[in-house]
Amino acid sequence: MTKQPANAQNDNNQTNTDQTDESTSSLETRVAEIETHPFGPVLPPEATVMMMGSFPPTADKWAMRFHYPNFYNDMWRIYGGVFFDDVDYFRVGEERRFDPERIRAFMFERGIASCPTVKQAIRETGNASDKNLTVVTPVDLDTILPQVPKVKTLFTTGGKATEVLLSLLAKPPAKSKYPKTNQSMDYPYEWQNTDNKKAETNNLTLYRLPSTSRAYPLALDKKIEAYKDFFKKIGKL
């Protein structure tokens, strides 16, 4: 029989300790990676529609401190094209950034709210890809909806935001029933907070629009066309 060296137990203990330390370190790193959405919702009290995305890119990609901050995301070009026939309407001169105050003023004037569906998340690959985003804390609609009581329509700008919103329903639909791009469905949200249950939620409708990311394989003019059709349908154009 092979004898175990006298120090083998200590070596094993050391190995176990090292593994425990590594696990603890990994857990601490993972907890440290939980990010909170850096931008608060834009909630005009007269808003009748609310745009709902997921999570912004890392700060090194920001061109401004506002929703859809990456200059190479086409959201604000689309809005410029839809409402002003000018994709550079919200751009600051020739600079590679948009004007957040001009955008905010426009949203209040037109009654368009914006609220992310994700409050806290972990970037599993360190980038803005929704595919690799783990949602830790979703939006609290019980807090948001009472601030925009005239909102009848929600619209998402991609699959992750759609998935998060539908997961908040009392009876979430199967993924096969999710609306495809440029489609809509009823959104029968029920209050979670007992204080809110005294009031009725609006008969909400959820639309899914094309992603404004450059990674989404659709030309800018086609995205503008899709958003223009949507805003006409809900009476904003």
Q: Decide if 181 is inside a domain.
A: yes
CATH number (domain holding residue 186): 3.40.470.10
Mean pLDDT, residues 59-69: 94
User: What is the band of 128 on the pLDDT scale with cuts at 50, 70, 90?
Assistant: low
- Edge-to-edge strand list for the sheet holding 34-36: 34-36, 118-123, 133-138
* pTM of the model as a whole: 0.83
Q: Which of 110, 103, 50 is nearest to 75 (CA)?
A: 103
In the chain, how many domains are there? 1
Q: Decide if 30 is inside a domain.
A: no
What pLDDT does residue 225 have?
A: 98
Q: Decide if 7 is inside a domain.
A: no
CA contacts within 13 A on the Cβ side of 130: 20
Gap between the Cα atoms of 123 and 125, Å rounded: 5
Pairing label, strands 204-208, 118-123: unpaired
Q: List the domain range (segments joined by +) for residue 202.
A: 35-233
Q: Decide if 175 is inside a domain.
A: yes
3-class secondary-structure state, position 92: coil
User: What is the band of 57 on the pLDDT scale with cuts at 50, 70, 90?
Assistant: confident
Q: Decide if 165 is inside a domain.
A: yes
**DSSP element (H, E) containing 85:** none
